[in-house]
Amino acid sequence: MKYFTLNNGLEIPAVGFGSVLESDVANFEEVYENAWSTGYRLFDTAASYGNQIALGKWLKNSDHARKEYFLTGKVAQSEQGYEETLSAFQKTLTELQTDYLDLYLIHWPKEKPFFETWKALEHLYDEGLVRAIGLSNFEANHLDRLLTKAKIMPAVDQLETHPYFSNHVTHDYLEKLGIQHQAWSPLGHGGQELTDSVIKSLAEKYDKSTGQIILRWLYQKGVATIPKSTNTNRQKQNINLFDWALTPRDEQLIDLLQRGERVMGAPDENYSADRW
């Protein structure tokens, strides 16, 4: 595994395991144990996913030492606010059966309790209950507002990012601020990018899967990723990225696939009643 170093010195795995929902698979613990055996050490979850209890049970039963894995959690929209966030965090710790999180994020920008939510994350960080704090789905306008009052610079911003939506404008902004860009849905939506003719031709050239081509492209741009798969072979492929590289020309070919096509709507369009 390779790592990126966050702005507070904490190392984060370059590739983590995106949440598999308990309701989607009959063998939840087996899927996660296979991911562990393959080499994944970052496990991403969120209060709104409804899988924290199952994930905590697997971690407890697996007997993996806590220092060996990296846990990311997120406070849901309905739980934002200072006291509400602190309460939600404690519930997350209980469900995951852990004493701390490695990374805690605000899941979506929400106007009314915005600063109070961030203040709660700063408190959790100061108390040593979380090793890094950050954001999810925050774009430049949200960051600009946050930084007018934030005492601690966010360490991570988790954003929808894939070849058809490279999110390059926000990426460049994050680089200037020293905030680590992490991609959710890095392989796109519905498999479209996995069957794109350019991606397929590069997969043939490098003798790799189309998913590996996309994930390697993101890694070379300095973007951490959290792909998810219940298939053991694809789990192995998605983490096998570090002993080969795309040429600059081939990297640029993927850059040119940018269409501005999101899997989900823009942050300011989702949950519109709560937005800026």
Predicted confidence band of residue 24 (pLDDT cuts 50, 70, 90) = confident
pTM of the entire structure?
A: 0.95
272 within a domain of the structure (yes/no): no
- 158 versus 270: the higher-pLDDT residue is 158
3 within a domain of the structure (yes/no): no
Q: Is the pLDDT of residue 212 over 50?
A: yes
Q: Is the pLDDT of residue 165 over 80?
A: yes
273 within a domain of the structure (yes/no): no
Name the catalytic one among 40, 49, 69, 104: 49
Q: How many domains does the chain divide into?
A: 1
pLDDT score, position 23: 82
266 within a domain of the structure (yes/no): no
Enter the tokens of residue 256.
Answer: 């040119």
Enter the tokens of residue 141.
Answer: 């306008």
Enter the tokens of residue 140.
Answer: 């430049």
How many helices (DSSP H) and strands (DSSP E) are in the chain? 10, 9
pLDDT score, position 273: 42
What value does the CA radius of gyration of the chain take, rounded to a whole number of Å? 18
Q: Is the pLDDT of residue 272 over 60?
A: no
Q: Is the pLDDT of residue 265 over 80?
A: no
CA 46 from chain center: how many Å? 10
134 within a domain of the structure (yes/no): yes
Least confident among 72-76, 148-152, 189-193, 248-252: 189-193
Reply yes or no on whether 271 is catalytic.
no
56 within a domain of the structure (yes/no): yes
| Residues of the domain holding 174 | 10-261
CA nearest neighbour of 78 among 98, 105, 48, 119: 48
CA nearest neighbour of 122 among 88, 91, 90, 154: 154
SS3 159: strand
pLDDT score, position 274: 46
pLDDT score, position 270: 57
198 within a domain of the structure (yes/no): yes
274 within a domain of the structure (yes/no): no
pLDDT score, position 190: 72
Residue pLDDT, tens place only, 99-124: 999 999 999 987 777 899 999 999 99
pLDDT score, position 63: 87
Least confident among 53-57, 213-217, 243-247, 261-265: 261-265
**The domain spanning residue 104 has which CATH number?**
3.20.20.100
Tell me if 41 sits within 8 A of 68, measured CB to CB: yes
| Three-class secondary structure assignment of 37-91 | HHCCCEEECCHHHCCHHHHHHHHHHHCCCHHHCEEEEEECHHHCCHHHHHHHHHH
CA nearest neighbour of 103 among 94, 92, 91, 111: 92
Whole-angstrom CA distances from 66 to 54, 72, 98, 101, 166 are: 16, 13, 8, 10, 34
